[in-house]
Structure 1
Amino acid sequence: MEIAERSRARVQERLARLEQEFGSTPVDQTTFSVGTEAYQRAVERSREGQVDVHAFVHNESGDVLLSNADGSWEVPTGQTQGAERPAGAVKRVVAETAGVACTVRDAVRATICGVRNEGDPDAETVYRLSIVFDAEINSTALDDSDSTEIAEEDGASIRWDDAGDVAVAELV
């Protein structure tokens, strides 16, 4: 039970810090099974205390920033690094993805993810935390037009899209 207990304690610690910073945030919990390789990544990320972050970054028109690095349009997503706080990770991920600064307004939802190894039913469940944040763009240098591609670099591009077209449930 060592991995499970430590990973659960890390998640609880991160949730407590999230509450201190943003107040009460809805928390869901889900458990799923993954292949051995993905399970090992979850174990490593848990050991490192990484939190998955998803950023709904809005422009002045209320549209959401999306990026296309792997053939599908998604909100900027990443993980915390070292002792980085999740809101700080959002700012870094958005800057790396879109080359712009943002202000984190709120933590919208947190999900505790129990990860099981489908190849080894005796392996302990590893717990990870995933947080969806609401943010606003700090720069007006980007085109605010609906669904317009605004940058293209190394095959990845970003654009604004109608917020109603982006489902939060698909993120976690």
Structure 2
Amino acid sequence: MEIAERSRARVQERLARLEQEFGSTPVDQTTFSVGAEGYQRAVERSREGQVDVHAFVHNESGDVLLSDADGSWEIPQGQTQGAERPAAAAERVVTETAGVSCTIRDAVRATICGVRNETDQDAETVYRLSIVFDAEVNSAAPGGSDAEIAEEVDASIRWDDSSDVAVAELV
């Protein structure tokens, strides 16, 4: 039970820090099975203390930022690096994936993900944390917001009406 206990403890520690920073955040839990390669990746990310982060970035009109991720439009997402706070990671990921700077306003939801190895039923469940943040685009100097400038330069981002953007498979 070494992997399961350690990964669960890391998730609980991160949830406690999230609550200190943003107050009470709804927490869901899910369990799913992945192949051996995906399971090993989950073990490594858990060992490194990585948290998955997702950011709903809103512009002045309330639209949500989407970036082209290998042919599908998604909200910016990635993982923490080292001891990076999840909110700081979300801001970094938005800048790296979309070229837009933002400010995190709140943690919308956290999901504890139990990852099982579908090819080895005896392997322990590894626990990971995924956090969805709400953010606003930062205003830029005269000439438009960072978002408007980035969209003019980069066709790999777009803004969609927030009612059209569903929180589908964020895990």
TM-score over 0.5 for the alignment?
Answer: yes
2:20 maps to 20
Retained in 1: the 8 A contact 2:101–2:146? no
Which amino acid in the other structure matches residue 92 of structure 2? R
Matched-pair identity in %: 85
Match of 1:168 in 2: 167
Which residue is equivalent to 1:43? Answer: 43
Contact 1:151/1:159 (8 A) holds in 2: no
Q: How far, CA to CA, are the matches of 1:128 and 1:59 in structure 2? A: 30
**Shift of the alpha carbon at 1:100?**
2.0
CA distance in 1, matches of 2:114, 2:12: 13
Query: 1:100 and 1:55 mapped to 2: Cα distance?
Result: 12
Stretch deviating more after TM superposition (117-126 or 157-166): 157-166
Alignment-derived partner of residue 142 in structure 2: none
In the TM superposition, residue 169 of structure 1 has moved relative to its aligned partner by 4.0
Question: If the length of structure 2 is used for normalisation, what is the TM-score?
Answer: 0.93
Aligned to 2:59: 59
| Equivalent residues, number | 165
Cα deviation, 1:57-106, whole Å, max 9, x if unaligned, reads: 00000000000021100000000000000000011001101222111000
Structure 1 counterpart of 2:148: 143
Corresponding position of 1:114? 114
Poorly superposed stretches of 4+, deviation over 4 Å: none
Name structure 1 gaps, 5 residues minimum.
none
SS in 1 for 2:124: coil
What is the CA deviation profile of residues 30-79 of structure 1, one whole-angstrom value per residue up to 9, with x for unaligned ones? Answer: 00000000000000000000000000000000000000021100000000
Q: Is the 8 A contact 1:4 1:126 kept in 2?
A: yes
Which residue number in structure 1 is paired with residue 29 of structure 2? 29
After TM superposition, give the deviation of residue 168 of structure 1 in Å.
1.9
Q: Distance in 1 between matches of 2:152 and 2:75?
A: 14
Root mean square deviation, CA, Å:
1.4
- Which runs of 5 or more structure 2 residues have no equivalent in the other structure? 140-144
1:166 Cα deviation from its structure 2 partner: 1.0
